[in-house]
Amino acid sequence: MNTPEDLRYAKSHEWVRQDGGGVVTVGITDHAQDQLGDVVFVELPEVGRHVKAGDTVAVIESVKTASDIYAPVSGEITAVNASLDAKPETVNESPYGDGWLFRISGGNDAELDGLLDAAAYVRSLDED
């Protein structure tokens, strides 16, 4: 299982990359995509929506499950990965790359600090 060191993680299996300028990119972890199985549809939020950390902002569907995706930080949705509409399997193939989900602008440092680093995230998986 792949858990890049340069990302922050939520216990609910989202990863966060700091893009600079107060913008973060969010996706789901390799572990999460593996647990879900073949992704068949991704329901993404509207650009411009203001979200609070912990809000349900997206849903990822496999054949027999629907999993909620939570905002890891607060802020405004500034972009979503529209290519997932046509190719939802990208979430399986490239969870940390082309399979990203959405970007949030405005997250505060305290929220970012509250997220896990790679080692802590991997430890949290053992607790499940």
Binding mask 47-86 for another protein (x = CB under 8 A): --------------xxxxxx--------------------
Minimum CB separation from another protein for residue 32, in Å?
16
4, 34, 41, 119: residue in contact with another protein (rule CB under 8 A): 41
What separation in angstroms does the CA of 20 have from each of 3, 54, 79, 95, 107? 21, 22, 15, 20, 11
Whether the CB-CB separation of 50 and 105 falls below 8 Å is answered with no
> CB-wise, 40 or 112, nearer to another protein?
40
Q: Can you tell me which of 18, 23, 43, 98 binds another protein, judged by CB under 8 A? A: 43
- Contact stretch for another protein (CB under 8 A) within 19-27, 40-48, 73-81, 96-104: 40-48
Would you say 17 or 49 has its CB closer to another protein?
49
Q: Residue 66, CB half-sphere, CA atoms under 13 Å: how many?
A: 7
Beta bridge partners of 127: none
Q: Is 98 one of the binding residues for another protein (CB under 8 A)?
A: no
* CB-based contacts of 126, cutoff 8 Å, min separation 6: none
Q: Quick one: CA dihedral 13, 44, 25, 33, positive or negative?
A: positive
